[in-house]
Structure 1
Amino acid sequence: MSVIAAENISKRYIIDHKRSKGSNTLRDVVTESFRNWFGRKQEQEQTFEKEEFWALRDVNFSIDQGDRVGIVGHNGAGKSTLLKILSKITEPTTGSVRIQGRVASLLEVGTGFHPELTGRENIYLNGSILGMKREEIRKAFDAIVDFGGIEKFLDTPVKRYSSGMYVRLGFAIAAHLDPEIMIIDEVLAVGDAEFQKKCLGKMRDVSASGRTVLFVSHNLTAVQALCNKTFYFEKGRLIEQGETNQVIASYLSKVSKTKLVRTWQTPEEAPGNDRVRIRRIELIPDYPDKATHIDVRTPLRVRFEFWNMTDRVNLNLSLHLNSLTGECIFNIGTQSQTYSKGLIAGECYIPGYFLNDGSYTVSVMVVKDTVTPLFNLEDGLTFEVEDYREGVAWYGKWPGYVRPQFPFEMKMVEEEAFAK
């Protein structure tokens, strides 16, 4: 049975751009700011330009009772706008939404809380907003406090809560007051790993009891673990909907910013100098299980080609793999050998289950006599590694830049019966 149906919903916002007639240089802006500060405001004739921005365009879907629906897409894709419409926080500009059942939403930190009220008072306030009777709230009260872990601060005004405490209490209320439909935005990213695990487990329990869950997250592993259906949004449009693994694979293949090869056809146009010129740098993934994107399982080969302009010279290649923020993950070099003039190639193999998920850059340096750099191609390639997990119930961010599968075992060495 369909509990949510959206028909041709669109949401338009009008953006005003203020324009002052005359110059808008940095000098003018600074001068005007000083005049305003010291009470010598100079009146300027201003015009306003209006721009239409469509956060959603012609979105259609239906969600059945008990579905666990993930919603993915880049920032600005329209995901949060959709949830606000479904939560009746805002109305669509065109189209209609039909919802059957009581909706509990957790869209951002502090939503629905009164800052001057205590945690205890906000539990009753939120329950009343959801249409719960006081006795129903009282029955769920202890479970809410225990799940949120805020017993010590229960009678403290929530304006003094940290963002993590806000989220724990908000999720606990939304999950325990028996909503038929539960809507959760990326706000769960504020919580720690242990709380994320509890939330995902609770959302599974909620859906197992026949209730419906909508879950927006950039944590694709969590979406895959929780959701049986997924919607992929891009620039306000619903691009694809269907079975979660299929939609996420399609999403990753479409939005990947990876540029796996750079080639220069002639030495004259290639980066380098009068001693060496780079002809080609390429990242070659060995995709597992018909995958279309690089994840932590994927073995990689990094291949280089460069023109050597000097006869009888000892050369070696040095490869640097860096994080996107500049930390060096590793530096590995070839053996130095004597080469004549001509085209030289090199290749480095990076095994699967070595790199953690994240963004990386590859740079390559040509070195003479193992000590003298001849040319360094910085940021030669940039690529993304996506997450992948099996048999793990934790879906927080895996720490570190590397994630190797070294031999690591444990075993019983002595069995002992402990007295009770």
Structure 2
Amino acid sequence: MADIRILLNDKTVARLPAATSGQYRARDTELKGFYVVVGKRRKTFAVQGDLREAGKRASSITVTIGDARDMATREARATAKEYLAKISRGQHPKAEELAEKEEAEEPAAAPIVGITLRAAWERYRDAHMVRKGRSERTIDSYRDHVERIFKDWLDTPLVELADDPAQVATKHDEITKESGPYIANGSMRTLRAIYNHARKTNRGLPADNPVNAIDWNQEQRRDSGMGPADLTAWFMQVAAMGNPIRREFHLMTLLSGCRPAALMEVKPEHVDLRRRVLHIPKPKGGAKRAFDIPLSRQMILSLVRAMRFGRFLHPLEARVWIFPADSAAGHLVEQKEARKVLSKWGNDLRQSYRTIATTAGVSEFDARLLMNHAIPGVNAGYITRHKLLEEHLRSQQQAISDTMFAALGETVKKTAVMQAWLAPRATHDVIKEARMARLKENGWTAKAA
């Protein structure tokens, strides 16, 4: 079963289903690094963090907190905060226990010569990924592959895998059965990259990468996008959502085609209303791939609504983030919705954007530029994107937004729930009513005023 993200409390932990095979992690949405490991019979609280030396990552460690049957989630969370604080200071939370255990044990056997997967991963992470500005999300994805899927191989010399590629092929088959074809292929791509990087400084490693022994699973692009005919039902679902900030987040994902993880981290300073652009500083590929999204009229209105609701609901966090939330990060960290609440979200909306762009008459070339996709062929080097941004790409963006809203027909005018969301001054009226209700709860009355 794949790892999940939920708000950990006694109720949600108790409801977690036992793993059918192996283990999976339920990561807390509020406290980064805090999670519960769910096996076939046990649920165990733990934390994961990076030990640092001289301000640089030295190693990633996992520390067990306790059995979920023996301690409350609140107690585990408090311990997790204490452990994570120590880790951030470069201290192992259980350093004394480990020292006592080492003293009691017999001297360890001589280590096997050759770089291990753990050492190769740490060098690849620091010398390649961090140095090249890969995002934390990308690094976390690779770390999950290495430290969860390949945890039994962490202290295995890479030369052993190279000399016996059959075990790599067998591992790929096992992952496919337990976690699915996509995770199996993805984890093997990670292993392949780490091995190739290790060979640069370990010339004794065989040139033939052991991952070459596997038979790759067939992968198909998920066809989950919407066309114009599907938009009215989707808009009605979004309009019915209780959280207005999440509502605007999903709408902006659809209108922009932006990756949700990058959109979650935009700040007010990234919005330039004079130029009508939204700057995305850390998209997939890191800071070097930073780009500006031209804004249509509908996108500007959505951002304004998000900022106004943010200032009312989360005044402190809204100073920093466009989509603020009551989370440890201060902004939205989870895009997922129950499908019965919202049928399409996340990358479904990116596919919808690309599909509707074609309906709007936007060319494949312009759609790639708007979504910050790489341009294939030799022509890519001759394109100056920002020269097209001010007029041409903005007109294409407006055409896409107009096509989406045109598909709604008279729904906005004739439906109360859509009027309460998209009608002029609707946001002002909603916030005014909510503010009055809040004052009445605190004992304020018009007569007393």
Q: Same fold (TM over 0.5)?
A: no
> Which has more radius of gyration?
1
Greater RCO, CA 8 A, separation 6+: 1
Identify, as 1 or 2, the structure richer in helix: 2
